[in-house]
Structure 1
Amino acid sequence: MPTKTATTLAAIAAAAVAAAATSAHAANPAAKPAMEKCYGIAKAGQNDCKAGPGTSCAGSATRDYQGNAWKLVKAGTCLSIKTPKGHGTLEPQP
């Protein structure tokens, strides 16, 4: 039979684990990161949606790094994505 001290320590440890799990969940309740459209980084046929007039949605980019085709990326990362043509932009390019 466990001693009173062992039982108390086990209860304290369980409470600490539960508190840590609760605070981690409150800080990030399985939230998806904020996303943004990043133009000019998609390879041909690999854009997430619309690639200019006359196109519909995903996979419609006809050339690599097409300026009016976008992919969703984690917010704040677009401008740091390098391509052979430069880097991603937050606005469509010709």
Structure 2
Amino acid sequence: MLPNDVDHLEKSLVDRIKTAIRQQLSARHVPEIIIQVPEIPYTINMKKVEVPIRRIIEGQPMHATGSLANPNCLDYYRNIPELSKW
């Protein structure tokens, strides 16, 4: 699935999410961008995985994804226009 296939979040929802994070945590935890994604990578033990996404965004080489239950979802993160400036 490519980024254009996912509905973008409405500005009012993004603002509410940022406000909730700021109020319940702190201003430094508020992300610069919030985007909707179709799927989050999980291990075969159903734990969320962040490192492969971070490596893709930073342009670092990816290691084997054999421990992921849904490795194909990583393809989506390679083509997110909002993250191209990072």
- TM-score bin (small chain): under 0.3
Computing the radius of gyration over CA atoms, which structure comes out larger, 1 or 2? 1
Quick check: which one's strand share is greater? 1
TM-score normalised over the length of structure 1: 0.20
Quick check: which one's helix share is greater? 2
Higher relative contact order (CA 8 A, sep 6+): 2
